[in-house]
Structure 1
Amino acid sequence: MITNPGQRAKELYEFGPFRVDPERETLLREGEPVALTPKTFQILLVLIRHNEEVVTKDELMRAVWPDTFVEEANLSRNIFMLRKALGETAQDHRYIVTVPGRGYRLAENVQVIPEQEVKIVAATHSIVHVDVKESRSWPWRWLAVGVVILLVVGLGMLWRFLAHRRTVLGSRDTVVLADFANSTGDPVFDETLREGLAIELEQSPFLSVVSDQRIRHMLALMGHAADARITPEIARGVCERTGSAAILGGSIAPLGSQYVLELRAKSCRTGEVLDQEQVQVAKKEDVLNALGQISRRFRERLGESLTTIQEHNTPLAEATTPSLEALEAFSMGWKLHTTSGTGLPFLQRAVETDPNFALAYSTLGRAYADVEEGDLSVVSSTRAWQLRDHASDREKFVIDANYAILATGNLEAARQTLEAWSQMYPRDAAPHVMLSGYPNKAAGRFEEAIAEGRKTIELDPDFAIAYFNIAVNNVYLNRLDEAGNVLRRAAGRGLEIDEFLMLDYDIAFLRGDRAGMEQVAARARQRSGGETWISNKEALALAYSGHLQRARLMSRRAVDYARQQAMPERAGAWEAAASMREAVFGNSAEALTRALAAFALSKDREVEYCAAYAMALSGETSQAQGMADDLARHFPENTVVRFSYLPVIRAQLALNHGDAAKAIEELQVAAPFEVGAARDFCGALHPVYVRGEAYLAAGKGAEAATEFQKILDHRGVVGSEPIGALAHLQMGRALALAGETDKAKQAYEDFLAEWAGADASIPVLKRAHAEYMKLVSK
């Protein structure tokens, strides 16, 4: 049996040129430290401690992740990182051997260093000194001192020489990338060279390149169009405003049938050239390789160590695509995606031009997700993951994270990938902003999400979605004032995105500020595409207070706009939300109609879940069961499906059969995720609501009251979902069942006050009136 790799007495191991210190979690190669993530280091320890034995994949995963479910791909990713750290290549697996169908073994003979030597090694790592008390004779003593002094002086002079022979950036310095001057007459170079340079430099854990999103924001503040070319003059303006240290740019020019490619670095402060290099390229197809080569030399001159350059040195054509045309389409698609959200056609062209372009597929998957095209997002993100070997180390993290979030839905795998990414690339804001989003929101880790959002802003103060994530997680914690303050800070930096308006509307709704809601709605309708989502927001708010007829009209408007804009997935989402609220209000026929309409528009997992839940609530057991089976079959790893959607549907089906005990049992698995945030149209705290109904059916009023109180306590998470209002009614029923008559009356009155002026024909309202009158007559 393999035990936890960290639970051992002090020991050191050696194999080949490597020394391993478990206590300090360090790996040294000939005395030089080798960077490893904690999980990768633990895998190495397991293999070392079972030297030349085959360790199965299951044994490795149980040892390194003892209390967590992880997919096998996570282990494979860490094995890849370990092999890279040990200096292995794809053709030469000298140290770690794969045993097909079983697992891995360490092929090198491992030596355990005796405890006495461990102490000596630890001492020598602490201090180097000359002991003058026990020297055999004083001449030798002073000779030893002299040697040490000469060594110190020599090392100092060498350090000064090396420090002055290259331009060194500080640990907090950032660089701005300018567009390349292109005098070849071939437009294929207009976008590709800067994009290629960005991808090459982003391989570096040392360098920090100012993000395109931040540059576009600075362009707007400088009075330029968001898609303006970044000339050297504009780049210097961006450089000064972002407090960056250097501008990197270059040029490409014809030389007969060949090309001259130049790369230069300039000081932002003085404009002087810090470094430059020129290379002659024989033919067009070799330009990307030449760009990669001189970029790597620049990385060393700007201060990056040779060790990290060697570790993160995927050739540009392998990290992206050998096709200039595919890279040109990708570059334009990425620019349009970050400026106007219209980059889809170019990203599609990129993967059509090069079907092995992994990064383009991953970006395409993200772009599909942003317009609610869930099925297409899954396909593209999965294809990117299948091609992940055609990417740099940094882009592999991007691909793995998108695959986990958008395709499999395995949020624990996503979180582990993002944490490993942030450790390997500590100056990269991207993993932190993703950790401030769905992986932590869905699990109810709102404070952690806020902390990650703050880390994002420390690295990139103009990353708009990070402000939204901080604000919305504060809303989930019922801290509305703090959320508003965050949005104001973002506005103070000139940042504005649709998500800010959406959250402004939600905050006004939670405060009961009708005038504020109307003001936000008016602003939203002035934005491109705003009519669709604001109409759905208004429909949810109207339904929450029982104005169902008006909610239906507004919901149909949202669906119609989405369909006109060729967004069937979004239209399906709005229909699914409508079907669920009709079901909880007791309008079974209308709920079924809307559920079928939603499912005809989209097979997105959230749409299928809401439609299935609406059908289960409406008594359509067979269809609901079929949809639940379909969800289980198509999303076997998805965290929210496994721990929220399926338990809710199965519990409701058990209640339909009169089996309250089974319903409660089905919902046990949902407990760790039950207060997590869901999509903004369906799913928040549903496990809690159905568990409360199951306790009511079982005659356990006190237990039911506990569940409905959770909904009332998490008002910010529930938002405008109708169960937020119905929780008052359900609390009244639970307290009445528990014999708490006075408290039950108050809960009924709270619900009826919330629904003052509601449509009188709603079945759930009729029942509430009858139950309240019966209660007060006692």
Structure 2
Amino acid sequence: MAHVEPERIDEILGRDIARRAKVKALLVVGVHRLGSKYVVEMRAIDPERDRYLFTVKEESPGKEGLLTVIDRLSERTRRELGDEPSEEIDASRIAVGEALTMNLEAYQHYVRGLDLNAHYGEFASAVKEWRRALELDPNLATAHRMLAYALGWYNRPAEAAAHARAALASAARMPEKDRTIVLAMDALDKDDRAKAIHLAEQLAARYPDDKTSQFVAAQVLSGAGELQRAEAAFRRALQLDAGYICALGDFARLLDDSGRVAEAIRFARAGVAARPTAANTAILAWATATGGNVEEAVALAREAIRLDGGASLFVPFWTYQVLAYVGRPDEAERELRRLSLQGATDEERGAGSLWLASLQANLGKRQDALRALSALPPTGPVLRAQVLGIGWPRLQAIEALQFVRSLEQAYWLAPELAFRGDFVAAARTASKLSEGSPPQALYRALLLEHENRREESIEALRTIAAAAVRPPTRFFEAQVLYLLGEVLLAADRPAEAIEAMKPLRGINTTWGGWFEVAENWPRAVLVRAQAYERLGQISDAVGELDGLLATWKNADPDLPLLADARAMRARLGPIAAVAR
């Protein structure tokens, strides 16, 4: 006879399961509403002898008091079961009403937000639920933590930090799982790698069947640079729910970054099969584009946009990269303009405007990107310098250099000054850097090349590129790899230069910041084209130039690198034609 899964586990089935598991006591709870009053009854059953051990009953005058009733029932049940008081029990005891919230409606809004985000990618709706939860209970720590996560996406670091502090303030009275999540994310925010890794591994080990715990553990481990351990947690989260949007997107990027794009596509297809949402379809479009299947990627991106109807922030995030990368920049720009004008909230419209500026920057529309940035809340100072440098050779980007010189302080100020050729000002700033810090390491690599210690510079840049362009240090990937390629070509090692810059693929560069990619990818393309020419691979050189010129088909006409690319293409084109 075929086994049929029951729709629900009732008391009879529960007794049978408990008997097979050799459980000593089965607790059966019933909740009855009498007018506005609630009566909660808990019966303890001996499944082996099929008899009642005891019954406890508590009443609440209203729904708001139910969590306190649970606390009282828990205490009475522990006594009836013969639990002896101990320091271990006292230390682990958590009052449900205090740990979560006394307001059940607030908790319902919090949980609904989790569902909207994880299952449908409807970020704005999820944020609305979390904010409503905090209106009802300003001390609901888990809602504060989720808003900290969301506001990071919206590029609002001050607000995100405020919510993170509010969550941390309530950590001591939270249940263990939620407390560990909050403490692990806080440790990562504060760059305490050892603590973050320890807590993330603890979270993954203790809650193997909770997908949220696995996802948070994976995020923290990834952010701390433990990519192999992060991968295991991502896999477990997706084993529990193949269509888990947040985990699926981050894991697809991790797989692609390690050269496993076919596996990224496989996971993305499984995600769509499990939950065919607009957001999952957009992730599959991105993975497919990265794998080189342009037509299918475009079709999937368009289908994701059609399914979405403007509900998910994740859809334009993934699809605009796809459409721009595969040569449909007009469609990408149209989708981001829609988000910037018609997004569900001010935060979503702001995100759309920032992404639109990044797209314009990558398309060589330098002036449009500068105007868009001027209309947005202040962003990182280096970001504006990167836009000012678009389309200019590195040491001729005078506006970018003048802007960087005007900055009083910035984390990356010393290497930025050196990158743009002002080693005198860079040296003054570099003296304040900690030995071995990421800005100091990049400044030192640049200084070595400036002092004609090229081999040392190459080794320093290789070290950074191999170990530090990804979490936890987060160098500017396109900048570092372009520099390495430039120095290698200057050392007459063209094949190595090409290989070093292989991860750079325009706006679809996995870990690069969009604006630093916009500044440095065109420079890298010209270096690669020169390297191919030296190797006699003229068709490959022309292919590099054609890719840049297609991306920059509507770029500002006065960009010097655009003129350089056109001139080189005109020179090499006839040679390539003869070779064919």
Equivalents in 1 of 2:66, 2:418: separation in Å? 64
Aligned to 1:479: 260
Aligned to 1:60: none
**CA distance 1:495–1:766, change in 2 (3 Å):** same
Q: How does 1:226-625 map to 2 (within 5 A)?
A: 250-254=30-34, 260-263=39-42, 277-281=55-59, 287-295=66-74, 309-321=89-101, 324-325=102-103, 327-339=104-116, 341=123, 342-369=125-152, 374-404=157-187, 408=190, 413-425=195-207, 428-437=210-219, 439-440=221-222, 443=225, 445-457=226-238, 463=244, 465-492=246-273, 494-525=274-305, 526-529=307-310, 534=315, 537=318, 539-541=320-322, 543-544=324-325, 552=333, 555-562=336-343, 567-578=348-359, 580-581=361-362, 585=364, 588-597=366-375, 600-601=376-377, 603=379, 610-615=383-388, 617=390, 619-624=399-404
Asked if the contact 2:203/2:217 (under 8 Å) is kept, the reply is: no
Equivalents in 1 of 2:204, 2:527: separation in Å? 44
Equivalents in 2 of 1:758, 1:461: separation in Å? 35
- SS in structure 2 opposite 1:620? helix
Asked if the contact 1:539/1:551 (under 8 Å) is kept, the reply is: yes
**CA distance 1:452–1:751, change in 2 (3 Å):** same
How much has 1:291 moved relative to structure 2? 0.6
Equivalent residue letter for 1:596: S
**CA distance 1:755–1:651, change in 2 (3 Å):** same
Please report the RMSD computed on the Cα atoms of aligned residues, expressed in angstroms.
4.9
- SS in structure 2 opposite 1:529? coil
Equivalents in 2 of 1:421, 1:427: separation in Å? 11
CA offsets, 1:384-435, max 9 Å, x none?
Answer: 1133233233322122233345x54666653332123334555544343223
Aligned to 2:478: 686
How much has 1:549 moved relative to structure 2? 6.6
Q: Does residue 522 of structure 2 align to residue 749 of structure 1? A: no
Equivalent residue letter for 1:472: R
**CA distance 1:546–1:320, change in 2 (3 Å):** closer
Equivalents in 2 of 1:279, 1:521: separation in Å? 56
**CA distance 1:366–1:334, change in 2 (3 Å):** farther
Aligned to 1:81: none
Equivalent residue letter for 2:262: D
Equivalents in 2 of 1:302, 1:446: separation in Å? 45
How much has 1:754 moved relative to structure 2? 2.8
Query: Number of matched residues?
Result: 503
How much has 1:671 moved relative to structure 2? 4.5
Aligned to 1:651: 415
Equivalent residue letter for 2:567: A
Aligned to 1:676: 470
Equivalents in 1 of 2:91, 2:144: separation in Å? 25
- SS in structure 1 opposite 2:470? coil
How much has 1:451 moved relative to structure 2? 1.6
- SS in structure 2 opposite 1:448? helix
Equivalent residue letter for 1:614: V
Max Rg structure: 1
**CA distance 1:498–1:709, change in 2 (3 Å):** farther
**CA distance 1:503–1:356, change in 2 (3 Å):** closer
Equivalents in 1 of 2:265, 2:182: separation in Å? 33
CA offsets, 1:585-612, max 9 Å, x none?
Answer: 4x54344323323xx2464x6xx65444
How much has 1:688 moved relative to structure 2? 2.4
CA offsets, 1:181-209, max 9 Å, x none?
Answer: xxxxxxxxxxxxxxxxxxxxxxxxxxxxx
CA offsets, 1:353-379, max 9 Å, x none?
Answer: 544443332233334446665543322
Equivalents in 1 of 2:403, 2:262: separation in Å? 44
Equivalents in 1 of 2:211, 2:126: separation in Å? 22
How much has 1:717 moved relative to structure 2? 5.3
Equivalents in 2 of 1:714, 1:742: separation in Å? 22
Structure 1 gaps of 5+ residues are 1-221, 223-231, 633-645
Aligned to 2:437: none
- SS in structure 2 opposite 1:676? coil
**CA distance 1:336–1:422, change in 2 (3 Å):** closer
Asked if the contact 1:318/1:390 (under 8 Å) is kept, the reply is: yes
**CA distance 1:519–1:281, change in 2 (3 Å):** same
Asked if the contact 1:334/1:343 (under 8 Å) is kept, the reply is: no
Greater helix share, structure number: 2
Asked if the contact 2:482/2:523 (under 8 Å) is kept, the reply is: no
Equivalents in 2 of 1:265, 1:612: separation in Å? 68
Percent sequence identity is 18
Equivalent residue letter for 1:453: F
Equivalent residue letter for 2:97: A
